[in-house]
Amino acid sequence: MSNSTATLAQRPRTASVTRATAATKSAGGGRYPQALLHQIVAPALHLPEAAAALVFAAARQRGPIARDVIAQVTGLSIATVNRQVTALLDVGLLRERADLAVSGAIGRPRVPVEVNHEPFLTLGVHIGARTTSIVAADLFGRTLDVVETPTPRGGQAAALSAIAGSARRYLSRWHRRSPLWLGVATGGVVDSATGYLDHPRLGWSDAPVGPVLAESLGLPVSVASHVDAMAGAELLLGVRRQPVKSATSLYVYARETVGYALSIGGRVHSPTSGPGTIAALPVRSELLGSTGQLESTVSDEAVLAAARRARIVPADGPSSTVTAVLRAARQGDEQAAALVAERARVLGEAVALLRDMLNPDDLIVGGQAFTEYPEGMPLVESAFAERSVLGHRDIRVTAFGNRVQEAGAGVVSLGGLYADPLGAMRRTPHARGAHLTPRRPEVSA
- Using DSSP bridges, classify how beta strands 131-137 and 143-150 pair: parallel, antiparallel or unpaired: antiparallel
Q: Which of 111, 144, 363, 166 is nearest to 253 (CA)?
A: 363
Q: At what angle do helices 300-309 and 322-330 cross, to 10 degrees?
A: 70
Which tens digits make up the pLDDT trace of 243-266? 566 789 999 999 988 999 999 999
Q: Which of 298, 312, 99, 127 is nearest to 203 (CA)?
A: 127
The one-letter code for the residue type at 144 is L
Distance, in Å, from the CA atom of 422 to the CA atom of 418, rounded to the nearest integer, reads: 10
Distance, in Å, from the CA atom of 230 to the CA atom of 267, rounded to the nearest integer, reads: 13
Architecture per CATH, 51-115: Orthogonal Bundle (1.10)
Q: Are residues 294 and 281 in contact, defined by beta-carbon separation less than 8 angstroms? A: yes
CA distances from 378 to 246, 353, 401 (A): 30, 18, 16
Q: Are residues 85 and 113 in contact, defined by beta-carbon separation less than 8 angstroms? A: yes
Q: Which residues contact 392 (CB under 8 A, 6 or more apart)?
A: 385
Which tens digits make up the pLDDT trace of 148-184? 999 998 899 999 999 999 999 999 999 999 999 999 9
Query: Residue 270: what are its φ and ψ, rounded to 5°?
Result: -125, 95
CA distances from 308 to 252, 322, 335, 336, 343 (A): 27, 10, 11, 10, 16
In this prediction the pTM is 0.86
State the pLDDT confidence band at 100, using cuts at 50, 70 and 90.
confident
The per-residue pLDDT for 389 is 96
Distance, in Å, from the CA atom of 206 to the CA atom of 155, rounded to the nearest integer, reads: 12
The per-residue pLDDT for 23 is 42
Q: Which of 231, 4, 224 is nearest to 130 (CA)?
A: 4
Architecture per CATH, 120-232+404-427: 2-Layer Sandwich (3.30)
Alpha carbon 6 to its chain centroid, in Å, reads 20
- Cis omega (within 30 of 0) for bond into 64: yes
The one-letter code for the residue type at 153 is R
Q: Say which CATH topology domain 243-398 has.
A: Nucleotidyltransferase; domain 5 (3.30.420)
Which tens digits make up the pLDDT trace of 31-54? 576 667 789 999 999 999 999 999
Which tens digits make up the pLDDT trace of 304-340? 999 999 999 999 999 999 999 999 999 999 999 999 9
Find residue 133's DSSP bridge partners.
126, 148
Domains 51-115 and 120-232+404-427 fall in the same CATH topology: no
Lowest mean pLDDT among 12-21, 155-164, 225-234, 288-297: 12-21
Which tens digits make up the pLDDT trace of 268-301? 998 877 778 899 999 999 999 888 999 999 999 9
Which tens digits make up the pLDDT trace of 390-440? 989 999 999 999 999 999 999 999 999 999 999 999 998 865 554 434 333
Which tens digits make up the pLDDT trace of 124-151? 999 988 899 999 999 999 999 999 999 9
Query: Residue 246: what are its φ and ψ, rounded to 5°?
Result: -85, -5
Report domain extents, the chain: 51-115, 120-232+404-427, 243-398
